[in-house]
Structure 1
Amino acid sequence: MTSILTNGAAISALDTLRSINNHLEATQQRISSGLRVRTASDNAAYWSISTTMRSDNMALSTVADALGLGAAKIDTTYTGLESTVDILSEFRAKLVAAKEPGIDKSKIQKELNQFKEQLKSIAASSSFSGVNWLETNVPQNLRHLPSLPTDIVSSFIRSSDGSVRVGTTTIDVAEISLFNLGGGGSLQKSPGSLGTIGGFRTASLNAVGVGGTDIRATTGFPFALTSSDVISFDVAVDGLISQTVTIDKTLVDATLGIANGNIATHAAFATVLNQALVAAGVDSYVYADLTGSQLTFISKGNTGAPTSSVVVDNITRNPPGPTGFSSGYEQRATTGLPLVLSVGEQINLDISVDGLASQTLTIDDSLINSSLGVVNGTINDADDYVAVLTQALINAGAGSNIQVMKVFGSSIRFTSTESSGGSFSGVTLSNIVRTPSGASGLAGGGSIGSAAYVRANGYYAQAQYTFTTPFTVTSGSLISFDVKVGTGTQTTINIDRNLVDAALGTSDGLVNSAAAMATVLSQALTGQDVTVTSSGSQVIFDIDPAQGFSANFLISDVSDNVKYRGADFDIVDVDITDPVNDLDNYIDGVDAMLERVVNSAAALGAIKTRVDIQTDFAHTLMDTLDKGIGRLVDAEMGEASTRLKALQTQQQLGIQALQIANSNAENILQLFNQ
């Protein structure tokens, strides 16, 4: 329908053109801004999310900057700690060098003083942006504080409920500080530190008692005992127990499970000896121990005597023969027998046993007649000569010290019974003379055998250490150690402030001398069979004699309950030129300082790694959030560009359509011109 009032085609074309222009404007805005959601009216949900996340991303950017600042502080502090470790290592090495006898400690002290200044310089200069974690100004002692935390910003967190919070990484400055105004830094003394506990902590207190011994060689194996043979010897233990021990064929056979009385080896002999001690009833006091061919009689040290000893002597065999013991002897062949001494004739010979002064033996016709039951003064063979010599020794008072026997057919052996008290076992013959001149019946140049034996007194278990530096047991401090006596159970002993004050009659917990330390330890060890005394600077531990000479004791695992293993001095106070100061205490204390600084550096290094990781994560997270926001609100420029061209074309077409619609109205207007 054509109307003079309304141009419907033009209105339609205008509406189309207006719509195209609106779309064209929106597309142009997307292209110019790069956003498809620029305002809340574009997409309220996406706009809200993107706006919130952009705000969060700005916060994350600030977190990343804060992490960089924190990393700089950590790097600065870590560098200072690394340098401190190096200097402390050198410091400790110099202290160890000062232990060398004859070294000039004053020169070493000069080096130590320079190290001290360098340590203070490191602590003072390890500052970043006015923050210094190595030199702090806290008025309290850091060891008395539960912690001294400082935080560095490490994250920005939005929870599922929409709330936000800032995450931090906490660093305990109390564990890092080297020097603090109120004390407690790693290079300062530890409050309540007991140091080496006056040298007790590092003392070696493992004491073993030893019973008295009689050591001698064994020899002559194999040898056998017949039913008529008896070996005997006397054994005395601790000067209280004395018993004659006998060995016969019956004992040998029963002990070794044989029937021929043969003792074939050193070991078999030791077995027989111990059984003989049992038979004699002294096995609870002494025993025999074999090492190689050396036999040791050892006192068990349980007789209650104040000393411990073993004496084995009067070793004999009847009839004469090998005893298994290596005893000193001299052996002479007989010659010119039979031998006759007339009235007025005599044979004299000097004999020495076990290194003692010589005695002169005299043989005359009356001795021969009485010894052999004859009347003609005749010695017919070696057996007769043994009988005569034995009686001559008895007459001279040496019969118990020397045994005479026939060996190898016609030779005579003079053997020490080792009962003379001499320093070794041996027999020496000399000056064999017949008066008037004539044959003596004994050949010259005899063979000599000597056997040393060693006797040593025993001693009770004892240990000692040198008291070094005074220390104070504070309230709440506890010293602990383990003690084990003999075969008893191990017991833990505790020493606290109350025990110290009660033992010393004081109220300050101070232990300032070896005497005081001995008093405290003696009180603590009551009922443990260990007594403690002092002598000068020595603290001496003795086992209760009732435990026996062979008992031992061990004191170990000395420790305390102080929270920090630390020094009882400041590093800047170290002075090795003062004889009052103990080098071992300095070495132990500096080692504790070094250990603490190393632990601090390790902990800070771990935090540094975490901060580096968190920094990388923050940057990655910001990039990820940018991508996520872009997916929500960014315009797709390729699509927008194509759409823009299409809309521009549509706009041209719309304008042309509007022109056409307007031109149709000219035909109507011509009606009014006619």
Structure 2
Amino acid sequence: MTSILNNAGAISALRTLRTIGSDMMATQGQVSSGLRVATAGDNAAYWSISTTMRSDNRAISAVSDALGFAAAKADTAYAALDAVIDVLGEFKSRLVMAKDEAVDKGKIQKELEQFKQQVQNIAHSASFSGENWLNTDIANIYDFDLNKASSLAAFIRAGSGGAAVRAMDFHLSEVSLFNSTGGGLLETDMRDLKTLGGLRTLYADPYSGSDSTVYDGGLGSGWMYPNGAGGGAGSFFLNDFPVGSPLDFNVPGAQIQFTILLDKEASNPQNYTGAAGQIEELPGPYLAGHSKTITITKADLDAVNPGLGGIITTNTEFAAVLNSLLNAEGAYVSASYGQYVPYNSSNWVHDEKRMSISTQQKHPNGSYVEIAGLSSVGVGLGGLKEASDFGSRGSGMELQFEDFIVHEDGDNLDGVEISFGFSVNDAPATSHSFNRTYVNELFGKDSGKVETAEEMAILLHSLIDADWPDLIIEATPAGTVMIKSDPAVDRQWGSGTRIGFDTVRVNIEPVPKIDFLTIDIAANPDKVSAYIDYIDIVTERIIDGTATLGAFQKRIEMQSDFTGKLMSGLHKGIGRLVDADMNEASTRLKALQAQEQLGFQSLQIANSNPEAILSLFR
């Protein structure tokens, strides 16, 4: 049916043209932008994902730039450390040359000064964009949080939609040669625990003559001996042997007789005070000790040395005779009790004429010696006299406390670790250890510092009490720490007693105790060997730091490669979500253009029928 009011064919053709036009506009947009999803209206889910990932890709690109910056800093530091190792090799060769007595050490020192300047120049020049890893300004170089250099390593999109940035940390304590507050690889290590609050005693090296300001054989200033103390046996001096007054036992009936009493116990002997200086009461019962009457005759002399001919002329001869009779009873006579003074003194004393008698403590618990009922017939006494002496009762020692800090230790969050053995009266030693975390938790601190003798006593109690419940540990008014066995429990006396620390170990030792820049063989020619050992140790530390830096460089390289691949992968993934297929889009565009032409023709045909009807009215 044909109607002059409604042209159904034209309306249909026009509707088709509108649809084709809309499709052509979308397809043309894909062809011109290259995107299948260009706006949220195209596909809200894909558009949201792609927009987020494009933002993440830009963040990862920033990470890639940061990795390049970190690589540049690490490369600079590595090159400088490698150069320093070479200079230290030359430095060591000059020190070895200085071992030759014929070499002028003053001239070699001039070379060494130039090497020192070169090392400083290298360290100061190893800067990239104002950042220097070899010449640092760190308030506490041993602090794990303060000594790290960080570089962006990754940008992470969490599954819940949150984002996070990850960093790579490198601890500058590994490579810093000079630090403004000390602690660089070529400076004194400030973590030196010294006497550890008195647990060990500092002695100068008696062989090299090192003192507390120089490096001793690469192990520190002086020797650190574990601290320990034993009781003293009962012992007293005899009179000097009378010069020119031999003891002639050839006289008929000649003899010397006395009673010896060994190892008895008594409550509060008059000449005994406790380990802390106070008079102490020993609870009973008390041992009576061992008593024996000794008679010396010519037969006894002949049994010891027939060559004496029955005549004693020196204290050495007399001591030999006395020992032949007293050793079996538990006493010992010394013919030359000496007095000794420290090394390097010109007053070394060894008195050959001084005799003494001591208990060997062959009898339980006691430490006492006494000569009584002394008499002689036909001869003199040769220096013997009636006397007695108690030794020390119980085990005890006094620590000369000085404050110390248990420092941080790089990646070890618990800090420096100290271990030691402890024993009383030669019982099997027990092992104990503590670290910075232990000290801080014990005292509620964050400094790792043991500041007073009272705190040292608390620390030792916390470590030792479980194995040695009868031990008395207390601070003294003089600021020392007294450690002793309980006299109500420990009845041991004399040299049979011992209390002390052994196998004291600190996990960071040895540590350098001098600065590289203070080495002076002209002023200290006797310390060349110590300096050589020092250079060996610091060179090894720098080599270790260089190796760690090399590993960090490799990690940066690997992370950079991964970041590049990650960016490429993300770009490809975004494309799969929103990129248009250009072959398909262009083909579809051509098809739509053809459809559009056909639509125009259909519209023309549809409009031609009403024109024919209108012609009837003309």
* TM range, smaller chain: 0.5 to 0.7
**Equivalent residue pairs, number:** 373
Quick one: distance in 2 between partners of 1:58 and 1:239? 106
Match of 1:142, SS? coil
Q: Over the residues paired in the alignment, what is the CA RMSD in angstroms?
A: 4.4
The aligned counterpart of 1:150 is 149
The aligned counterpart of 1:595 is 540
Q: Compared with structure 1, are the counterparts of its residues 30 and 657 closer, same or farther at alpha carbon in structure 2 (3 Å cutoff)?
A: same
Q: Compared with structure 1, are the counterparts of its residues 141 and 52 closer, same or farther at alpha carbon in structure 2 (3 Å cutoff)?
A: closer
Q: What is the Cα deviation at residue 36 of structure 1?
A: 0.6
Quick one: distance in 1 between partners of 2:561 and 2:179? 34
Quick one: distance in 2 between partners of 1:480 and 1:668? 116
2:576 pairs with 1:637:
no
The aligned counterpart of 1:2 is 2
* Contact 1:177/1:186 (8 A) holds in 2: yes
The aligned counterpart of 1:665 is 610
* Contact 1:568/1:589 (8 A) holds in 2: no
CA deviation profile, 1:352-378 (whole Å, cap 9, x unmatched)? xxxxxxxxxxxxxxxxxxxxxxxxxxx
2:36 pairs with 1:13:
no
Match of 1:584 among 518, 529, 551: 529
The aligned counterpart of 1:184 is 183
Match of 1:156, SS? strand
Match of 1:582, SS? helix
In structure 2, the gaps of 5 or more residues are 195-214, 226-300, 307-323, 325-329, 336-400, 407-416, 434-449, 454-481, 485-494, 497-501
The aligned counterpart of 1:84 is 84
Quick one: distance in 1 between partners of 2:559 and 2:189? 35
Q: Compared with structure 1, are the counterparts of its residues 635 and 672 closer, same or farther at alpha carbon in structure 2 (3 Å cutoff)?
A: same
The aligned counterpart of 1:108 is 108
Q: What is the Cα deviation at residue 152 of structure 1?
A: 0.8
Instruction: Give the structure, 1 or 2, with the largest relative contact order (CA under 8 Å, sep 6 or more).
Output: 2
**Which structure is larger by alpha-carbon Rg, 1 or 2?**
1
TM-score by length of 1: 0.48
Q: Once the two structures are aligned, what percentage of the paired residues are identical? A: 46
* Contact 1:192/1:562 (8 A) holds in 2: no
Paired amino acid for 2:106: S
TM-score by length of 2: 0.53
Quick one: distance in 2 between partners of 1:589 and 1:560? 20
Quick one: distance in 2 between partners of 1:474 and 1:80? 38
Match of 1:190, SS? coil
Q: What is the Cα deviation at residue 474 of structure 1?
A: 6.3
Paired amino acid for 2:223: F
Quick one: distance in 1 between partners of 2:20 and 2:527? 98
2:592 pairs with 1:647:
yes
Alignment of 1:434-513 (within 5 A): 475=404
Quick one: distance in 1 between partners of 2:302 and 2:109? 57
The aligned counterpart of 1:200 is 223
Q: Compared with structure 1, are the counterparts of its residues 192 and 615 closer, same or farther at alpha carbon in structure 2 (3 Å cutoff)?
A: closer
Quick one: distance in 2 between partners of 1:100 and 1:580? 11
Alignment of 1:30-69 (within 5 A): 30-69=30-69
Q: What is the Cα deviation at residue 587 of structure 1?
A: 2.4
* Contact 2:144/2:171 (8 A) holds in 1: no
The aligned counterpart of 1:165 is 164
CA deviation profile, 1:507-546 (whole Å, cap 9, x unmatched)? xxxxxxxxxxxxxxxxx9x9xxxxxxxxxxxxxxxxxxx9
Quick one: distance in 2 between partners of 1:578 and 1:492? 44
Q: What is the Cα deviation at residue 113 of structure 1?
A: 1.0
Q: What is the Cα deviation at residue 197 of structure 1?
A: 4.6
Quick one: distance in 2 between partners of 1:132 and 1:146? 18
**Comparing 654-663 with 86-95, which one deviates more in the overlay?**
86-95
Quick one: distance in 1 between partners of 2:577 and 2:137? 52
Quick one: distance in 2 between partners of 1:171 and 1:121? 23
The aligned counterpart of 1:265 is none
Match of 2:512 among 567, 575, 593: 567
The aligned counterpart of 1:26 is 26
Match of 2:164, SS? strand
Q: What is the Cα deviation at residue 666 of structure 1?
A: 1.4
Q: What is the Cα deviation at residue 475 of structure 1?
A: 3.0
Q: Compared with structure 1, are the counterparts of its residues 564 and 171 closer, same or farther at alpha carbon in structure 2 (3 Å cutoff)?
A: farther
Quick one: distance in 1 between partners of 2:557 and 2:593? 53
Match of 1:625 among 570, 574, 595: 570
Quick one: distance in 2 between partners of 1:101 and 1:493? 47
Quick one: distance in 2 between partners of 1:473 and 1:90? 40
Paired amino acid for 1:142: I
2:541 pairs with 1:612:
no
Paired amino acid for 1:669: L
The aligned counterpart of 1:408 is none
Quick one: distance in 2 between partners of 1:198 and 1:11? 106
Q: Compared with structure 1, are the counterparts of its residues 31 and 143 closer, same or farther at alpha carbon in structure 2 (3 Å cutoff)?
A: closer
The aligned counterpart of 1:117 is 117
Q: What is the Cα deviation at residue 180 of structure 1?
A: 1.3
Match of 2:404, SS? coil
Paired amino acid for 2:404: S
* Contact 1:151/1:168 (8 A) holds in 2: yes
Quick one: distance in 1 between partners of 2:609 and 2:522? 121
Q: Compared with structure 1, are the counterparts of its residues 666 and 107 closer, same or farther at alpha carbon in structure 2 (3 Å cutoff)?
A: same
Paired amino acid for 1:40: A
The aligned counterpart of 1:279 is none
Paired amino acid for 1:66: A
CA deviation profile, 1:582-624 (whole Å, cap 9, x unmatched)? 2233223222322222222122222211111111111100100
Q: Compared with structure 1, are the counterparts of its residues 188 and 595 closer, same or farther at alpha carbon in structure 2 (3 Å cutoff)?
A: same
CA deviation profile, 1:557-606 (whole Å, cap 9, x unmatched)? 98753745322211111101113762233223222322222222122222
